[in-house]
């Protein structure tokens, strides 16, 4: 496969341990060019390690890695000018001013974007003369994103790009990722926010303990299995579901997913909705947020791993 036709990122059997800690345990993934892929998983799932291996900042123990058709272990000089990196938590000389920092990074690129324009787009114009250490966390985050983008990279790695941002700044970053995608830039981002993965990514890889446990579009991942729907409601914890199950048609299941969070799965037709509400009325149960819907990515993660994404 020629360099230009190869996926933006392809990993096969990627492994990395730190002493006894297995960070990445045989991860496979493929990011086609011009698309956005989200690695979604809880803290410690191995997302940052994976991204740092792709960037050439960490050496894997094993596995096949191709980034823009190149091997970051041996071809990092050719790779670096073609990728943009927004590391988790950013980082810069404390005294450097925002515009100095961006200009510095821009001078390393063959055909950089206009730094002043980028600062303006990212809402940093008024902070351009502010030393890095005096920028707010959100401003540092956005400057880090500007540095990742100023070289017009073909592929951008964004490690938890909106961690710690207020909703307005988060929206701005989301819009920018949308613009990158429209421009044909490939994006690999990590997040533990399911709405971020859902909103930004063409494909989502759910990672847990260094492995991909599920992969697909958010739509595919959350699709009701076998065309079956879900009815969800919230109420007090530990309701006795035995009687509800007895009232429901055969094939329906009722489960308490988390304390006070209930789901009925099966062919959820109007009759099933009416059975559930009648059961609630009979037992003096006030059901909040009753809805018939598909699963969320959060639920998919919980079902696959038995744990919450945010744990
Ligand atoms: N340099 C290191 N030395 C020792 N252990 C490490 C190192 N880097 C990562 N780990 C461990 O490897 C595992 C995976 O960490 P990693 O940072 O890749 O996960 P993550 O999914 O990005 O989590 P987070 O969202 O918290 O960054 C964790 O158990 C972590 O403690």
- Ordered by start, the domain boundaries in the chain are 9-221, 224-293
* 48 within ligand 1 shell (Cβ under 6 A): yes
- The atom number, within ligand 1, closest to the CA of 48 reads 22
Residue 299, pLDDT score: 78
Measured from the CB, is residue 44 less than 6 Å from ligand 1?
yes
Which element (helix H / strand E) includes 99?
helix 98-106
41 lines ligand 1 (CB under 6 A): yes
| Cβ-Cβ contacts under 8 Å for 62 (sequence gap 6 or more) | 13, 14, 15
CATH (one of 3.40.50.450, 1.10.10.60, 1.10.287.3510, 3.40.50.300) for 9-221: 3.40.50.300
Predicted local confidence at residue 1, as pLDDT: 53
39 closest CA partner among 194, 222, 233, 239: 194
Region label for 90, one of left (φ > 0), alpha (ψ between -120 and 50) or beta (otherwise): left
User: pLDDT 10s digit of each residue in the chain, 311 long?
Assistant: 556 678 999 999 999 999 999 999 999 999 999 999 999 988 899 999 999 999 999 999 999 999 999 999 999 999 999 999 988 766 677 788 999 999 999 988 888 999 999 999 888 999 999 998 899 888 898 899 999 999 999 999 999 999 888 888 889 889 989 989 999 999 999 998 888 999 999 999 999 999 999 999 998 898 876 667 889 999 999 999 998 999 999 889 999 988 999 999 888 889 999 999 999 999 999 999 999 987 788 878 888 887 776 65
In CATH, the number for domain 224-293 is: 3.30.70
pLDDT of residue 310: 63
Q: Is 45 in the pocket of ligand 1 (CB under 6 A)?
A: yes
Respond yes or no on whether ipTM tops 0.90: yes
With the most atoms of ligand 1 within 8 angstroms of its CB, the residue from 21, 87, 90, 157 to mutate is 21
Give yes or no for residue 309 CB within 6 A of ligand 1: no
Structure tokens at 265: 């799965």
pTM of the full structure:
0.83
Q: What's the gap in Å between 109 CA and the centre of ligand 1?
A: 30
Does the beta carbon of 24 lie inside 6 Å of ligand 1?
Answer: no
- 225 CB contacts (<8 Å, ≥6 apart)? none
CA 236–ligand 1 middle distance (angstroms): 37
């Amino acid at each position: 496969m020629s360099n230009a036709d190869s996926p933006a990122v392809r990993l096969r059997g990627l492994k990395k341990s730190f002493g006894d800690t297995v960070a990445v345990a045989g991860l496979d993934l493929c990011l086609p060019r011009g698309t956005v892929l989200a690695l979604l998983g809880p803290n410690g799932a191995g997302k940052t390690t994976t991204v740092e291996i792709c960037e050439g900042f960490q050496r894997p123990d094993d596995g096949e890695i191709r980034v823009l058709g190149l091997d970051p272990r041996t071809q990092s000089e050719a790779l670096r000018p073609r990728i943009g990196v927004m590391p988790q938590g950013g980082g810069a000389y404390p005294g450097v001013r925002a515009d100095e920092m961006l200009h510095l990074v821009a001078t390393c690129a063959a055909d950089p974007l206009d730094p002043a324009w980028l600062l303006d787009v990212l809402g940093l114009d008024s902070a351009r003369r502010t030393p890095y250490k005096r920028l707010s966390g959100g401003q540092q985050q956005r400057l880090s994103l500007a540095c990742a983008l100023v070289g017009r990279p073909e592929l951008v790695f964004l490690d938890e790009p909106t961690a710690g941002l207020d909703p307005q700044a988060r929206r701005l970053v989301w819009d920018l990722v949308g613009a990158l995608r429209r421009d044909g830039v490939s994006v690999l981002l990590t997040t533990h926010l399911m709405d971020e993965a859902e909103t930004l990514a063409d494909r989502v890889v759910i990672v847990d303990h260094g492995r991909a446990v599920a992969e697909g579009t958010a739509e595919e991942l959350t699709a009701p299995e076998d065309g079956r729907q879900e009815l969800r409601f919230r109420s007090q914890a530990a309701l006795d579901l035995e009687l509800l199950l007895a009232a429901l048609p055969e094939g329906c299941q009722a489960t308490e997913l988390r304390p006070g969070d209930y789901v009925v799965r099966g062919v959820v037709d109007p009759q099933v909705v009416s059975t559930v509400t009648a059961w609630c009325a009979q037992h003096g149960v006030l059901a909040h947020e009753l809805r018939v819907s598909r699963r969320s990515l959060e639920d998919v993660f919980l079902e696959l791993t038995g744990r919450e994404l945010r744990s």
